[in-house]
Amino acid sequence: MKKLKLYGFNNLTKTLSFNIYDICYTKTDADRKEYVAYIDEQYNSDRLTKILSGVCDIIGAHILNIAKQDYDPSGASVTILISEEEVPLYVVDPSCNRGVIACPKHVVAHLDKSHLTVHTYPETHPGGNISTFRVDIDVSTCGTISPIKALDYLINSFDSDIITIDYRVRGFTRNMAGEKHFIDHNIISIQDYISSDILKKYDTMDVNLHHSNIFHSRLIIKELNLDNYLFNTSETSLSEEEKSDILRELNREMVEIYYGMNLPLIK
């Protein structure tokens, strides 16, 4: 296919906003505290940096700067400034570290047209047995590289029970005749960029505004293997009634998150 010749730089901005939820049954207050500590250890800023660096490799971006932070009492954040083309060392701003963090106590956050960010939110509630872990990821690129190439990698990098994905192409670029182009690739649904092996595990929902280049997809896990959702509890130690109650709690939490609404309590 012949490449369209542009007047100047392809400045279309492609932004992927990606939310992942992991749900867990935590029976006691001690379990809930331990769950948050476990999540903080498993998904600390170092591991999150590796995940985002993997995204850069997949989409063909070059790292200019990394800023990362673990928070007290919980949660972590990472921001990576990227460029489509590799930037010569003499051009790079002195405040940038090109991915080599020499002084972890000094954190400088960069947010530009091309960037990746991740924030984690472990969450529990003393009045319930369900704990949740939310990950917010934003990948914004400017030029020909596209963040949706990394969807499978991101989904597989976390325990993903519920996934919400927003993809938007903003701005325009011009061809040599001055004609505006508001998108540079064909897309019908975000799900077209997710592997069939992943999709078959989820029920899905799409809301797309093609005329505005806005695409939205939601995924919720189909089958609940109870043992995968028990923290410090074994399925063999539970009665059938307890198993049924826990599955009902887990399902309620997932459905509320998936649809973004609280369900009425039924006694």
Active site residues: 114, 119, 142
Q: Which one-letter amino acid corresponds to residue 215? A: F
CB–CB of 68/99 below 8 Å?
A: no
Distance CA 151, CA 128 (A): 32
Residue 149: is it exposed, middle or buried by C-beta count within 10 angstroms (0-12/13-18/19+)? middle
Phi, psi of 165 (to 5 degrees): -130, 130
User: Two tokens at 170?
Assistant: 């903003």
Q: Which residue has the tokens 């499978």?
A: 152
Q: Which of 85, 73, 80 is nearest to 101 (CA)?
A: 80
CA angle 38-44-47, nearest 5°? 115
